[in-house]
Amino acid sequence: MSSINSNNLVPCPVCNSEFSKDVIESHVNKCIFLSESQNDSNSNNFKRNSPFESESKSSPRLKRVKITENKSSSSSTQFGNHSKLKYNDNRNVLNKSNVPLAELMRPIILEDIVGHKELFGNGSLLQSMLSNKKIPNMILWGPPGCGKTSIANVIANICKEQESLRFVKLSAVMVGINDVKEVIKAAKNELQFKRHTVLFMDEIHRFNKLQQDTFLPHVENGTISLVGATTENPSFSLNNALLSRCKVIVLQKLSTNDVTKILEKAIAQNEKAVIVDDLNGEAVNDMGEDFRCSIERKSLKWLAEMSDGDARIALGALELTIMSQAANQISGLISLQSLKEGIKRTHILYDSKGEEHYNIISAIQKSIRASDDNAALYWTTRALHAGEDPLYIARRLIRTSCEDIGLGDPNAVVEAVACLQGCQHIGMPECDVLLAQCAVRLARAPKSTEVYHAMKNVQRTLNNSRGPLPSVPLHLCNAPTKLMKELGYGKGYNTQHKNESGLTYMPQGLENTNFFNVHDNGD
């Protein structure tokens, strides 16, 4: 081969050896045949094909390329576009129309978390652990928009900075148990390289309790650290065995000041808006490329109050308002009145501090209690007009029919339940007259709170009792076995009226207590 001119040599695409042009074709055919035979022989050694088998059979060069691509894609998937951004690096965030402002404003370091100072403030246990790059098993429980995903984003950034940690983000809405098993399988493999996996499972309550069992052994033996997020009460929606292995972090609604601070940060990073204390004394830029909106500070405060502690709603409303002003360029002024008119028609139907929802329902019940049929009709219709769920109103009417009418008209609860069933069958807008009729009927019914107050008296007695509660008298107990009969269960019981039977039906110590004779108008 050395006598052949190097310019006449051609490399084999299979084995990479060089041959002359005369023999290269026959050599390639032999190489392909031998390669296929070898692959068939290797495939018979496996009982089950691995989903990653095609990668393992690739050439070293292709394998390196695929690994590089996987690392790049996983990094962008797990940490998003803002993995290298701080708050002050997000310029012109509202110009990025494909990414919501709420997503761009997510913090990536502990110091940027707004609110929850008792949990993540200086000196707190969680702050100390996360600062030391220790990620405990925990369940983040709180209402929408309080910062659960933002905290997970901070944890993701902590994992990114540590070679020994790996962050995986899943949502129970989008994945199933097989996806979780694949993550755990990869986590076991990563442990061989001394990398620990942190799994963030958003909306974890979407998994039923049988599916949640999948996490148990791997959380317990340390294969993964589980960080779950849920808006549902973990006591009811999560497996008790899983709860015993995780710390439940209770996140409260953000305060008005916290939401206002978030809105001010978003404005500070946006070159198309500026905060002013008073629109009357501020000059507004001329329209053009440098068009900027002026927003009153009290407008941001109102928006924060209207969001009911949900930062996502507040940021979405702010983004919508500013983008609308910038697109139309009708006026650079965003006053409190214009903000109210624009936002209340979109998604916020109750006014300040989110109390109107409960205030109107309270007004319905108290109007019925006072037998004011006119007011009961007004508040019921107003609740429907505001967009209240008709089934919620119907359920409250059922409660009212027992609490305020009770034995004064026992048929009232029957009609209230029928109203609920009718609303379920026909829905809105046809069911509005059912609710109106039921509210008026309950307002006109005779009232009796005897049972309600007696029940409250029993509850008060139970709450104030000290020590163990008194046992059921033996003569009232069933005696299904011979041993229980010998112990005196059911002995002396008869079916006569209480005044003739000679028996007491109250527990020891309460024989002379009559809960119907005590009334507390404060309940």
- DSSP of 56-120: HTS-HHHHHHHHHHHHHHHHHHHH-TTTT--GGG--SGGG-TTS-HHHHT---SGGG--S-HHHH
Query: How far apart (Å, rounded) are the C-alpha atoms in residues 168 and 12?
Result: 42
pTM over 0.85: no
Residues of the chain with confidence (pLDDT) below 50: 1-5, 37, 40-95, 281-289, 345-354, 522-523
The predicted structure's pLDDT at residue 78: 40
Residue 274: its H or E element:
strand 273-276
The predicted structure's pLDDT at residue 20: 77
What sign results for the dihedral spanned by CA atoms 38, 39, 44, 47?
positive
pLDDT in tens, 150-184: 889 889 988 888 888 999 999 998 988 899 999 99
Query: What six digits make up the tokens of 494?
Result: 């008869």
The predicted structure's pLDDT at residue 353: 39
The predicted structure's pLDDT at residue 325: 67
Q: Which domains does the chain have, with CATH numbers?
A: 6-43 (3.30.160), 116-250 (3.40.50.300), 256-352 (no CATH), 361-444 (1.20.272.10)
The set of residues, in sequence order, having a beta carbon less than 8 Å from that of 67 and lying 6+ positions away, is none
Phi and psi torsions of 198, nearest 5°? -105, 115
The set of residues, in sequence order, having a beta carbon less than 8 Å from that of 173 and lying 6+ positions away, is 202, 203, 206
The set of residues, in sequence order, having a beta carbon less than 8 Å from that of 469 and lying 6+ positions away, is 462, 507
